[in-house]
Structure 1
Amino acid sequence: MDFLNYTEGVFATNTSGNDSLETTKLPTSKVLLTVTLSIVAILTTFFNCLVITAIAVTRKLHHPANYLICSLAVTDLLVAVLVMPFSIMYIQMETWIMGKVVCTIWLSVDITCCTCSILHLAAIAIDRYRAITDAVEYSRKRTGARAGAMVAVVWLLSILVSLPPLLWRHFSEEGDLEDQCIIIHHHLAFTLYSTFGAFYIPLLLILILYYKIYKAAQTLYMRREASRASRHSCMTNGSMIPSSFTAGDGDIDGGPRSPDPISPPEKSFSEPSTEEPPREKVRASVKAFKRKTRRPESRSESRRSQLYQGPRISGSRERKAASTLGLIIGAFVICWLPFFVKEVIVNTCGSCSTSVEMADFLTWLGYLNSLINPLIYTIFNEDFKKAFQRLVRCSNYL
């Protein structure tokens, strides 16, 4: 994502005659770098294609929430196919050799798709927040048309954020540079507009929403376990009427959860077969009688064990939810925060600058988020796991 490269540029060319010396000194490192970046691009293409195909051919995944995941995968796929290869070539050649038109197209796709990928993460956070805090009402509004409208809004905002840098480059002198494909400007207002619109505002929104999602899920689990505990307590004291659930105690996907059904009485196997001898009939009936007399005690013990296991189960769920949210937020912050912090520092401090290698590293660290997204947003979903397994096995029964 190169819309804020204000020093010599993320992929600026080296000066003087040191090019030949560096070329002779570092051919192996350049080859390794090119191979590594190419592997990243190939893996990003593969995993995003896998997500798109799984959603397209698996009926169980045809859900409005997964439409946002699919749109995110399409955006990250565009980054892998249309942005990463040109960036690899630019790093390898150390000069832009494909002309102004291709440069303009590449910068447009780069800025728009990277911004759109970040805004998709914010849209998914909004969708999940609504689904857990207003499950019953939002389940009615959570339609394919609404998901499509959210995708359209995300793309529109991405264009609005990325268009000003492209217009600036077109009307400035840097557009006349033949051997560079960068955007250079030194206006503080423009820097803040681009960085806050593309990253800092979505980051703040994601942090707030996922914190509220975690707190809402924690409250939901506590209510559910308290309701289960009171129901088991009523049963232990002789009452068979389960305590009612509150209207808000639904699953994360929406809808109230019905109380656990009481297990039916075990079938007595004292009923003899026609071929059994009379002595075996008596033994079977005696064993059945003993089991019946022991059954109330065993049932009460099982209920007590379930009662004690309730908080333990709730704690494991909370830890799993916290780890999932931590991965989502952590991957996003680690990939994109260094790049945007560098952009703000470099463009607000006149004497500050970064090396070309560091700028390349931070840019590709942001690109790496397009590889991580399809893994994080699908690996914790059992339906996605099964769909991936069937796709890898080339199964036709999806």
Structure 2
Amino acid sequence: MDDTVNYRKNLTVQYCFPGNSASCRKEVRSGPGNILLFIVLSCVSVCTVFLNLLVIISISHFKQLHTPTNLLILSLAVADLLVGMFVMPVKIMQLRDSCWYLGETACSVSLVINGSSMGASLYSLVLIAVDRYIAVSDPLLYSTRITVSKTSLFISLGWSLGLLFIIIYLYLNDHLLPSQIISRCYGECVVSVKHSWVIVDLVLCFLAPCSVILILYSIIFIAARRQAKAVRAVTDASKRHGSANSSETKAAKTLGIVIFVYLACFIPYYISSLSVESVTTSLMVYTVFVWVICLNSSVNPLIYAIFYPWFRTSVKFIVTCRIFKFSSSRFNLLPARF
């Protein structure tokens, strides 16, 4: 009984627009637990924006980092920046009192930004896997096969396809145009996705990219082990054995982190979406699992950038404002080897 009373105190029913008779009722979530949750989620959003901004500034500013691989990391960081800057704050706002105050047009725009940014993030992950696969399988011809111009083209194509897919996806589910959105009351921005399109989304946005990443990274790992064995065969075992084992261990750890984070963030959402006839964004379970997916945008810069030595060096230049010095864009971030 006491728990029920406390819950009702923490969940006060009000109206989104008190002066409008068609206004939705809002559920104001208060209490120490909810306040702590909002603070934590806000910190996650700020950290996501900050980390990805560091990656974007580093790669954009320093000419030494203008390589095909780093362009892919830049694309990933831009997509994740949009998640942290637009998607997460909107989710926090809706979680706070369940109301939408920005109008139907903004509702449609937010859905497009949400879907296209997450889609671009996934596509960038796939391109990074393809890039690393070519670099390992054909290192001698890598520089001729993978160029900055070709990479830029594929990045542009990926963003365009992601945007096109989310527009079609929302249009066919009657959530793209303001005239299509049917709300039960004024002050609502809820998406209900048909089960058939849940299957399409599962195949195109999870199974396909996940399979590509798993297969390519498995091949990369096998190739790395093969190369390590070749090094041991032609060098002094006493001097090189430790280095080779270290390379294998590092490759295994990187592979494990990439696969684990990717699967851990997306599997819960798709399992839950298959268990219902239609996915509705008003469901609390949907909110939780979407936040888990958003966390992938916070972890991505840690996996693909912070583990790179050049990133740690560039952050020092940025934090100390040395990037404002004349010709700072030509600084050598890795004097020993790059």
Instruction: Please tell me the TM-score bracket, short chain as reference.
Output: 0.7 to 0.9
Q: Does 1:176 align with 2:182?
A: yes
CA contact (8 A) 1:96 1:179 kept: yes
> How far 1:112 sits from its partner (Å)?
1.1
Q: Larger radius of gyration, structure 1 or 2?
A: 1
> How far 1:142 sits from its partner (Å)?
1.8
Q: RMSD in angstroms over aligned alpha carbons? A: 2.5
Match of 2:4 in 1: none
Question: Given the superposition, is the C-alpha separation of residues 171 and 135 from structure 1 closer, same or farther in structure 2, using an over 3 Å criterion?
Answer: closer
SS in 2 for 1:136: coil
> How far 1:82 sits from its partner (Å)?
1.7
Match of 1:32 in 2: 36
Q: Deviations over 1:311-367 (max 9, x none)?
A: 23211210111101111111111112211221122238xxx9999333221111100
> How far 1:99 sits from its partner (Å)?
1.2
What CA distance in whole angstroms lies between the structure 2 residues aligned with 1:337 and 1:135? Answer: 34
CA contact (8 A) 1:52 1:74 kept: yes
The equivalent position to 2:252 in structure 1, one of 318, 322, 334, is: 322
What CA distance in whole angstroms lies between the structure 2 residues aligned with 1:347 and 1:165? Answer: 17
Q: Does 1:356 align with 2:287?
A: no
What CA distance in whole angstroms lies between the structure 1 residues aligned with 2:98 and 2:231? Answer: 60
Q: Does 1:367 align with 2:294?
A: yes
Range 179-188 or range 61-70, more displaced: 179-188
Q: Does 1:222 align with 2:149?
A: no
Match of 1:390 in 2: 317
Match of 2:98 in 1: 94
Question: Given the superposition, is the C-alpha separation of residues 35 and 48 from structure 1 closer, same or farther in structure 2, using an over 3 Å criterion?
Answer: same
> How far 1:379 sits from its partner (Å)?
2.1
- Where do residues 145-164 of structure 1 align in structure 2 (5 Å cutoff)? 145-164=149-168
CA contact (8 A) 2:191 2:281 kept: no
Question: Given the superposition, is the C-alpha separation of residues 103 and 48 from structure 1 closer, same or farther in structure 2, using an over 3 Å criterion?
Answer: same
Question: Given the superposition, is the C-alpha separation of residues 335 and 171 from structure 1 closer, same or farther in structure 2, using an over 3 Å criterion?
Answer: closer
Structure 2 residue runs without a partner (length 5+): 1-10, 15-25, 332-338
Question: Given the superposition, is the C-alpha separation of residues 158 and 23 from structure 1 closer, same or farther in structure 2, using an over 3 Å criterion?
Answer: closer
Match of 2:120 in 1: 116
CA contact (8 A) 2:82 2:117 kept: yes
The equivalent position to 1:131 in structure 2, one of 135, 139, 149, is: 135
What CA distance in whole angstroms lies between the structure 2 residues aligned with 1:73 and 1:354? Answer: 26
> How far 1:23 sits from its partner (Å)?
6.4
CA contact (8 A) 2:202 2:270 kept: yes
Q: Does 1:197 align with 2:204?
A: yes
The equivalent position to 1:20 in structure 2, one of 13, 18, 24, is: 13
Count residues with an aligned counterpart: 300
What CA distance in whole angstroms lies between the structure 2 residues aligned with 1:187 and 1:223? Answer: 51
The equivalent position to 1:166 in structure 2, one of 170, 173, 181, is: 170
Range 69-78 or range 386-395, more displaced: 386-395
**Greater percentage in strand:** 2
Ranked by relative contact order (alpha carbons within 8 Å, sequence separation 6 or more), the top structure is: 1
What CA distance in whole angstroms lies between the structure 1 residues aligned with 2:74 and 2:176? Answer: 36
What CA distance in whole angstroms lies between the structure 2 residues aligned with 1:316 and 1:327? Answer: 16
Question: Given the superposition, is the C-alpha separation of residues 187 and 361 from structure 1 closer, same or farther in structure 2, using an over 3 Å criterion?
Answer: closer
- Where do residues 47-58 of structure 1 align in structure 2 (5 Å cutoff)? 47-58=51-62
CA contact (8 A) 1:122 1:206 kept: yes
